[in-house]
Amino acid sequence: MEGKIVANNAGIYTIYSSGVNYNVFPKGSLKFKNKHLNVGDDVIFDDETLVIIDVKDKKNELIRPRCSNVDQLIIVMSVVEPNLSEELIYKFLTYANMNAVPSVIVLTKIDMLTGLTKVNELKSDLEKLGIKVFLTSNKDENSISEIKKVLDNKVNIIMGQTGVGKSSLINEIDPSYSRHIGEYSTALGRGKHKTKEVILLPYLNGFIGDTPGFSSLELDIFKEDIAHYFPGYNDLYLNCYFSDCLHQNEKECAVKKEIETGKLSKSAYQIYLKLLNELPYRKERYSK
């Protein structure tokens, strides 16, 4: 039979196939064939012996959160508790571009803000790049119904910091999931983990993936890479005069031209420069 791995509990894999969950073990020979298993993998298994026989080729594979065959990332960020981090949003989007996975943004806890000027500016900047942005608050049925429209027939992975409302969002989409909800600690300045594992939940001919939260995301790339994958720049860098343009002081830089005309965000460019300065050149790693 064929199915999809939807959970992994200490080496016992849950496979979803034709509306039924099976708890199975991998065949020993898979390890020797170097076929490691992730949540999201499509596999062939024996429903009598409950053994995974083979794993199909992966369309893609994310390292954090560890999962495969992702169609869409749902990047969830809160505007307060924890506070909105534009830098982290652009890091997430860069990470999505690195893995060629489309993404949308969900900003939660909007009702806890007194003003939306900053949020609306960010929303406008991202939508200019073709990225959908949803603003949500507690029990906001209108925004939830809009989010549901982008989930159909996809493997959707929800990712974001601990405490931003990932599990709450999933419960709003479908209350039958009853995902455990974490709390935000004011003293610690971060959320408390509730989701400990990646788990796929069947939804609208596809899946919603709940994932453990984290406080930061390190991009294991080089300056040359972020110049290609930063949101908005990934569609422009080929138009730069220099093939290795870092979009700083180089002449005839397509990215800088778009920033000067207002088509690309100046504040996002400052984030790009900050991230760029934190990364090494590729040649530095290989010269050591």
CA distance 275 to 41: 32
Q: Which of 180, 210, 240 is the last residue of a domain?
A: 210
Mean pLDDT across 246-274: 96
Domains contained in the chain, number: 3
Q: Are residues 123 and 189 in the same domain?
A: yes
Q: Are residues 203 and 268 in the same domain?
A: no
Q: Are residues 81 and 141 in the same domain?
A: yes
pLDDT confidence of residue 35: 77
Q: Are residues 197 and 230 in the same domain?
A: no
pLDDT confidence of residue 175: 87
Angle, CA 181 vertex, CA 177 and CA 184 arms, to 5°: 160
For the chain, the straight-line distance linking the first and the last C-alpha, in angstroms and rounded, comes to 49
CATH label of the domain that carries residue 128 = 3.40.50.300
pLDDT confidence of residue 287: 54
Convert the pLDDT of each residue in 197-254 to its tens digit: 899 999 989 999 999 887 678 899 999 999 999 999 998 999 999 999 999 999 999 9
What is the token pair recorded at 47?
């429903």
Report which of residues 188 and 34 the model is more confident about: 34
Domain that holds residue 51: 2-58
CATH label of the domain that carries residue 18 = 2.40.50.140
Q: Are residues 41 and 90 in the same domain?
A: no
> In this structure, is residue 218 part of a structural domain?
no
By DSSP bridging, strand 72-78 and strand 103-108 are parallel
What is the token pair recorded at 240?
């730069």
- Could you tell me which of 83, 76, 125 has the C-alpha nearest to residue 104? 76
The answer, yes or no, to whether residue 185 has pLDDT greater than 50, is no
Q: Are residues 234 and 171 in the same domain?
A: no
Q: Are residues 248 and 270 in the same domain?
A: yes
Convert the pLDDT of each residue in 86-119 to its tens digit: 999 999 999 999 999 999 999 999 999 888 999 9
* DSSP H or E run through 5: strand 2-9
DSSP 255-287: HHHHHHTTSS-HHHHHHHHHHHHHSPPHHHHHT
> In this structure, is residue 216 part of a structural domain?
no
pTM attached to this predicted model: 0.89
- Could you tell me which of 191, 188, 209, 189 has the C-alpha nearest to residue 200? 209
Angle, CA 167 vertex, CA 9 and CA 26 arms, to 5°: 20
Q: Are residues 264 and 164 in the same domain?
A: no
> In this structure, is residue 82 part of a structural domain?
yes
pLDDT bucket at 186, cuts 50 / 70 / 90: very low
